[in-house]
Amino acid sequence: MVDGDCAEYAKLPAKHIKVADGITLHVYDNEDYVWMCYTYPDGSLGMLDMKLKTDKLTSPLNLHVSAQLGEWPADRDDLVPKSAESNQWWNISGWTANNVWANGIDTSGPQPRIRLRNARARELQLSKERFGHGDWQFSMAIHNLRDSSGKTYRVSFPADGSLYTFPTH
């Protein structure tokens, strides 16, 4: 189940990768799916842009996870949704993730604001029917991380900007 909790990965023969302090990526696959789950520091949103390249894809995709899910060809900034109201959001196929949840509306100020609630981790499930078997190459940009002093930052994996190769079954 894609629930934003990485606890079950400890019991699986998953790959466990330390991405940065407070961020561990767990990757597990079976015949049909690849699951990815990563932790992030408390107070962080841990939003994601993941570039994914597989033999089955005609060109690499960017998979985006924030309060909304989206996908578009990687390196095609002209196809990135231009606003939160864009109809390009939620046009995804063969994958899902736990997004940052809406948790009511704050009406205490002059403008109503959506309240957000977050899981302890970000988790994705990707279908091999859509993305194929064999070596998957990916990189991750994890955004809206918060350190203990409250400063926000982002992390790239791999840190050198290359693609990480995960051999699927």
Question: What tens-digit pLDDT sequence spans the chain (169 residues)?
Answer: 899 999 999 999 999 999 999 999 999 999 999 999 999 999 999 999 999 999 999 999 999 999 999 999 998 999 999 999 999 999 999 999 999 988 999 999 999 999 888 899 999 999 999 999 999 999 999 999 999 999 999 999 999 999 999 999 8
SS3 sequence, 56-94? CCCCCEEEEECCCEEEEECCCHHHCCCCCCCCCCCCCCC
Do the Cβ atoms of 63 and 34 come closer than 8 Å?
A: no
Domains detected in the chain: 7-167 (2.60.40)
> How is residue 91 written in tokens?
């046009």
Query: Cis before residue 158, ω within 30 degrees of 0?
Result: yes
User: The whole model's pTM is what?
Assistant: 0.94
> How is residue 37 written in tokens?
């789950």
